A and B are shown apart, each in its own frame.
Chain A
Amino acid sequence: MTAAGPLPVTVVGGYLGAGKTTLVNSLLRQANGRRLAIMVNEFGALPIDASLVEAADDRIVSLVGGCVCCSYGEDLVSSLAMLRALEPRPDHVLLEASGVAFPGAIAGTVGLLQGFALDGAVVLADAETVRGRAGDRYLGSTVRRQLSEADLILLNKCDLAGDPDAAEAWLGETAPDARVLRTTRAEAPIDIVLGAWTGRAALPAGGGPFDHTAGYATAALDPPERAEPEALARILADPAHGLLRAKGFMPRPGGGMAAIQTVGSRWAVSDAPSDAPSGLICIGLEAGTDFAALRRAVSDF
């Protein structure tokens, strides 16, 4: 990805207390050289661990490792433009939505903006309280809609919840299009939450960047010849296979290379440099991903 390419944006949603801030801090700790820009709506007390803050001015707080944090207030569009103009430019924007905002609406705006690419909407749910909230007289419909607009749901605080299985089963009905990842203290691999790895380089021989002991499974796929990237992307995003993410490049039947990216059921295809290496990497949960069926679907293609 060249610096002039679109800047990826991930929307982070969920009701108060679900762990949005914890997730942001966890991602910052995993940034490992990637420059993350964190945009928060309700600034107030800075939601970033003090140990990560390096310097602060009026609009921008500089964090260790070249990351930044800013409050977008009511002007999402100009705040995003400001981040894009930073030198050096951030690699990825994490847009933390307010507790009652709809991630789908924010994602819709981001999708309209030139120079940005919506990566996906990640919504956190507190495994212990989410079902109660979803039944709340005032909040219920808001919480359910937030979940239903997610590409990826982090079912958080699983260590505290009495019955995370029941919560996950309930999510399957409430948000059938989203993939669910169980977390504790909102700890999830940055590569899954942000899709922030590039091509095959991230996949060491015989293994993935992801810790199998944590239950993630990775697979490399060779794209079938003469397939339309859009059609392939749709298969990768099909809820039946349960992939969390897929990413890679493939030749277009009419010439040129295409980049494919999926998160949950959301997929995007864009132009890629002609020297991009053909190949796809797919990530899912060992327990929830049917790689065999996926390979069949791709090879039948």
Chain B
Amino acid sequence: MTATIYPAARIVTMNPARPHATHVAVREGRILGAGTLEELAGWGDYRLDGRFADKVLMPGLVEGHSHVMEGSLWAYVYCGFFDRMDPEGRVWAGLKSIDAVVERLAEAAGALEDPASPLAGWSLDAIYYGGRRINRHDLDRVSTERAVGVLNASGHILNVNTRALELAGLLRTGVNHPGIPLGADGLPTGEMKGPDAMAPLGVHTGFDRDLLACDEPGLRRFAKLCVRTGVTTAADLANLLPEDAVEMMLRVTGEPDYPARIVSLRRFYGLTPEELIDRALELRGRSRDRLRLGIIKVVADGSIQGFSARLRWPGYYNGAPEGLWYVPPEHLLEIYERALAAGLGVHTHTNGDEATELALDCMESALRKHPAPDHRFTLQHCQLADAAQFRRIRALGLCVNLFPNHHFYWGDQHYAVTVGPERAERMNACATALREGVPLAIHSDAPVTPLGPLFTAWCAVNRRTASGRTLGEQERIGVADALRTITLGAAYTLGLDGEVGSIETGKRADFAVLEDDPETIGGERLKDVRVWGTVQGGRIFRAADLQA
């Protein structure tokens, strides 16, 4: 069989034994080797393909924590404050005023034929509009006939118009709910805060839960975003994986031109711990190259910006109450024990440091019962862990996947409101994790923030907030560490570091094809590295050629 050898301007291999190469040879979708042409010619027949001669090749980037739902959300109107690229490559300008939000929604409403169909938007960031709350009258300027609902970037607030309130029977006085502020007229202002207040409005404003759970067009759109951001493997971190979704995902990812490998975790919900293990084992057996199943996800607490993360003393900077548990400790322990016994991986969402502490206590006890030398259990987000917790994490053999994108999007709020200056400066402590020897990944949690490991790397290197503050100089990491983290680091947490994450003999031919060299462009500009596309399993995907 003939190999294909690609010369490139530079190949960054992440293989410490030969960190750079001029050529890479590919056969049967896998890497024969990286080196010089002479070295690679020794493999026998080859064809030289010069298309990447002026490109930089990196191992395909690995997003260790995202959600395929990012693809689904693009069915709604993007209302974010920051520029964001959609799956077709169009960059939607960030909306810098409430008027601009209204204008974009009104334009989308104008394109709808049915005057009664609802209009849904997403990623609104109300904190950036000078303290002014968005109310139903703002959204009434979009439409008074159709229900309009816009989900906040944090996912914790839904802004609706008057019509939506009417349909939900809430355009009345006497509504007494902590998540529903009332105006001077005694009527709800249209801001629905928290899942309990949002729930009655979702169905009226076009947010279809089933669609958000996992739909086929969303899965296809998500893959296009992967190509455009250099991602060849992405974790879909919290799927309920009902049978019809599994079949659809197997079918779609199995198509010859599906460009990404999806690692879909089964979230603990609606099953007993025992049933969860059985289901995960069954799913693991059905994995294919481009759909990896069998890892378990458990959500321990809520989010910091939603004040639902579980914080240790002294709690929230603004005095908000202590947050919510999403799993009873007994269940977390039981899942750990059963998963260790069955050889299954568990990723645990712990935002607050008290949730992290609980996970560590459970892990310590479970490991005593079922010692496991290479379990790859991972704490996801783990945003507020302190140095002592990182030392315990290391001792228990856990990995962490930290969330540096938070610094940029909410760092100023964390500093001023949620956790206060000191903890804001040490949150997502990448440098401490590396120093303590903890296996590290970093993530976007797309759609919470945009998919893009090079942007996430930039966030870890610079720790810059939206207002320009450097949030914790001490926790910045170097470019080389950041690049290893978005390739091998993330692959390790998913148990795939033997297959992907570096360009070396025997691994999958997964490359990020770049126009700029991330090693030399400088940490300041890491986010500006231009992505040409990807090679995934030896198949070439050029972003500019993706079909709408």
Contact = CB atoms under 8 A, between A and B. Distances in A.
Interface of A: 15-16, 42-45, 71, 73-78, 81, 98-100, 102, 105-106, 108-109, 111-114, 138-139, 141-142
Given A76-B199, A102-B324, A112-B200, 14 more contacts: A16-B328, A44-B271, A74-B269, A75-B209, A77-B199, A100-B328, A105-B194, A106-B196, A108-B178, A108-B197, A109-B199, A112-B199, A113-B169, A142-B325
A106 B179 CA distance: 12
Contacts, number: 74
Interface in B133-179: 168-170, 175-179
A105 B321 CA distance: 14
A42 B272 CA distance: 8
B58 to A, nearest CB: 38
B195 to A, nearest CB: 8
19 contacts: A16-B328, A42-B270, A42-B272, A43-B270, A44-B272, A44-B275, A71-B270, A73-B270, A75-B209, A77-B202, A100-B326, A105-B196, A106-B196, A108-B178, A111-B177, A112-B168, A138-B329, A138-B358, A139-B329
Interface in B305-363: 310, 322, 324-331, 354, 358
B93 interface: no
Given A15-B328, A114-B169, A109 B272 contact: no
B127 interface: no
A109 B325 CA distance: 19
A100 B325 contact: yes
B372 interface: no
A106 B175 CA distance: 15
Going nearest first, the 3 A-B pairs with the smallest beta carbon separation are: A44-B272, A114-B169, A100-B325
B interface SS class: loop
Chain A interface SS verdict (over half): loop
A75 B200 CA distance: 10
Contact of B197 (A43, A99, A112, A141): A112
Most buried by B among A43, A109, A114: A109
A111 B209 CA distance: 21
A112 B325 contact: no
Interface in B270-292: 270-272, 275
Given A112-B200, A138-B354, A100 B327 contact: yes
B100 interface: no
B451 to A, nearest CB: 24
Contacts of A113: 169, 200
Given A15-B328, A99-B328, A74 B209 contact: yes
A257 B24 CA distance: 85
Given A44-B272, A45-B275, A77 B200 contact: yes
A64 B239 CA distance: 34
B171 to A, nearest CB: 11
B203 interface: yes
Nearest to A113: B200
A100 B170 CA distance: 28
B331 to A, nearest CB: 8
A233 to B, nearest CB: 15
B172 to A, nearest CB: 10
B170 A112 contact: yes
A77 B326 contact: no
Contacts of B180: 112
Interface of B: 168-170, 175-180, 194, 196-197, 199-200, 202-203, 209, 269-272, 275, 310, 322, 324-331, 354, 358
B209 A78 contact: yes
A172 B340 CA distance: 43
Contacts of A108: 177-179, 196-197
Contacts of B177: 108, 111-112
Contacts of A139: 325, 328-329
A142 B310 CA distance: 11
A100 B302 CA distance: 12
Nearest to A78: B203
B49 to A, nearest CB: 48
A133 to B, nearest CB: 10
A108 B197 CA distance: 8
A111 B196 CA distance: 10
A190 B517 CA distance: 71
B175 A112 contact: yes
Contact of B272 (A15, A45, A99): A45
A92 to B, nearest CB: 20
A14 B450 CA distance: 39
A114 B175 CA distance: 12
Contacts of A44: 270-272, 275
A109 B270 contact: no
A114 B326 contact: no
Contact of B271 (A15, A43, A74, A112): A43
A235 B327 CA distance: 39
Nearest to A109: B196
Nearest to A107: B196
Contacts of A15: 328
Nearest to A106: B196
A82 to B, nearest CB: 12
A270 to B, nearest CB: 12
Contacts of A74: 209, 269
A77 B331 CA distance: 26
Contacts of B329: 138-139
B524 to A, nearest CB: 42
Nearest to B178: A108
Most buried by B among A16, A44, A71: A44
Given A109-B199, A112-B200, A73 B330 contact: no
Contacts of A16: 328, 330-331
A109 B322 contact: no
Contacts of B269: 42, 73-74
Contacts of A78: 203, 209
Contacts of A81: 203
A113 B200 CA distance: 6
A297 B203 CA distance: 46
Given A45-B272, A106-B196, A111-B177, A141 B322 contact: yes
A35 B269 CA distance: 28
Contacts of A105: 194, 196
A84 to B, nearest CB: 13
Contacts of A112: 168, 170, 175, 177, 180, 197, 199-200
A149 to B, nearest CB: 12
Contacts of A76: 199
Nearest to A77: B199
Contacts of A71: 270
A113 B172 CA distance: 12
A186 B169 CA distance: 36
A167 to B, nearest CB: 21
Contacts of A142: 324-325
A105 B329 CA distance: 20
A205 B269 CA distance: 50
A98 B331 CA distance: 12
Nearest to B329: A138
Contacts of A109: 196-197, 199-200
A73 B175 CA distance: 26
Nearest to B200: A112
Contacts of B194: 105
A226 B196 CA distance: 38
B173 to A, nearest CB: 14
A123 B238 CA distance: 30
Contacts of A98: 328
A98 B328 CA distance: 9
